[in-house]
Amino acid sequence: MERSYQKKDGQYYAPKGKAHDVCGGKAFRVAALGLDHGHIMGMCNGLSEAGAVISSVFDPDGEKVAAFLKAFPTAKPKDSVEDVLKDDSIALVVIASIPCDRAALAVRAMRAGKHVFVDKPCCTTMEQWEMLQKAVGETGRCFRVYFSERLHVESAVYAEQLIQNGAIGTVLSVQILAPHRKASGTRPKWFFEKEMYGGILTDIGSHQIEQILAFTGARHAKLSFSHVANYADREHPEFEDFGDASFVCDGGATGYFRVDWFTPDSLPVWGDGRTFILGTKGYMELRKYFDYEEGQSDVVCWANDKGFHREHVHGKTGYPFFGRFIRDCIDGTEESMGQDYVFEVMRLALEAEEKAEVVFKGGNKQ
């Protein structure tokens, strides 16, 4: 069944930005493997806008392939994973399969000589994490993860620019509220099985951990506490509909986030995500997807000693990650995201999930 890729359902939300070709007239060919999560569309949108050619796709589900080909008509369907991996013209493989399957597929692609871009979470166990780290070390391939809640959100891009320019001084604290819409009727079976999706802190929690490290400039962090719960889903006992965690970063800054699946159906977006950042010279709030006053997305409110501001930045910053990532693959650099950084984010997400205190289980709170 064809889906509409829009703001109300996060699994099918695929932002589009302005084209900015970084490939210098040379073909940078990309293949999509595993279409289980709609994030594949956003991942490929960003890459194609930066000049990549989406040239091939494989998934055993013909309906998913048909929808993908409608969005990316330059792609040609392949008969198997092996058909994609043996194609020497493919530089990068994009993966959005079931979360527990992503690591093995990514390792297979790297060992076939491909760079890899994986939807979050890129792994669901520490064994998979170690397998990925070993493959990167042995192959030298670029391996990046689609942390879309920063990379594909212009208010987050703008906030990072403000921080880098010293607008609020040194960042001391990052607090993130990240509600999501469950949309149970559209979710596949694996979405509710912890062994397959990895738990709420591994899954959507990894987005928030990545932002904490990015906005504080930290390279490492230490987990202070974490909680998970199943408050309201009696039908799926393995599902976690609430989680939170707190960290102390290596520079002394702190970070806290809350994730949940309780977005009301009345809201026109999949989640009213908010980020609060405190610095030594000011602070800011990101109203990422919805602003109650005007209904707009990408609103940044910030203040320092020189003044206070409310800025609408949708359509202004673009999404620089994708072009930088393509150049990383071509040039062997780490301008888009550090490789060690990727693994630190996922290590913290896995640790937070593993050590989380279960504060409620049974799904019977009304």
Let me know if residue 340 belongs to a domain. no
Are 126 and 240 in the same domain? no
pLDDT score recorded for residue 296: 87
Per residue in 44-70, pLDDT (tens digit) is: 999 999 999 999 999 999 999 999 999
Let me know if residue 3 belongs to a domain. no
Are 127 and 157 in the same domain? no
Question: Of the residues 128, 148, 168, which one is the last residue of a structural domain?
Answer: 148
Are 240 and 131 in the same domain? no
Let me know if residue 326 belongs to a domain. no
Q: Is the pLDDT of residue 12 over 70?
A: no
How many domains does one find in the chain?
Answer: 2
Give the Cα separation of 51 and 33 in Å (integer): 19
Let me know if residue 4 belongs to a domain. no
CATH number at residue 51: 3.40.50.720
Q: What is the DSSP string of 110-130?
A: HHTT-EEEEESPS-SSHHHHH
Let me know if residue 287 belongs to a domain. yes
Nearest Cα to Cα of residue 361 among 199, 247, 126: 199
Per residue in 239-252, pLDDT (tens digit) is: 999 999 999 999 99
Residue pointed to by tokens 């550090």: 338
The pTM score is 0.95
Are 137 and 158 in the same domain? no
Let me know if residue 273 belongs to a domain. yes
Are 209 and 125 in the same domain? no
118 lies in which domain range?
10-148
Per residue in 222-268, pLDDT (tens digit) is: 999 999 999 999 999 999 999 999 999 999 999 999 999 999 999 99
**Mean pLDDT on 76-92:** 98
Are 175 and 88 in the same domain? no
Let me know if residue 341 belongs to a domain. no
In the sheet with 357-361, reading across from the earlier edge strand, the strands are: 307-312, 299-304, 282-287, 274-279, 171-179, 254-260, 242-249, 221-230, 357-361
Are 59 and 142 in the same domain? yes
Are 193 and 300 in the same domain? yes
Residue 14: pLDDT band with limits 50, 70, 90 = low
CATH number at residue 273: 3.30.360.10
Residue 26: pLDDT band with limits 50, 70, 90 = confident
Question: Of the residues 125, 148, 171, which one is the last residue of a structural domain?
Answer: 148
Let me know if residue 263 belongs to a domain. yes
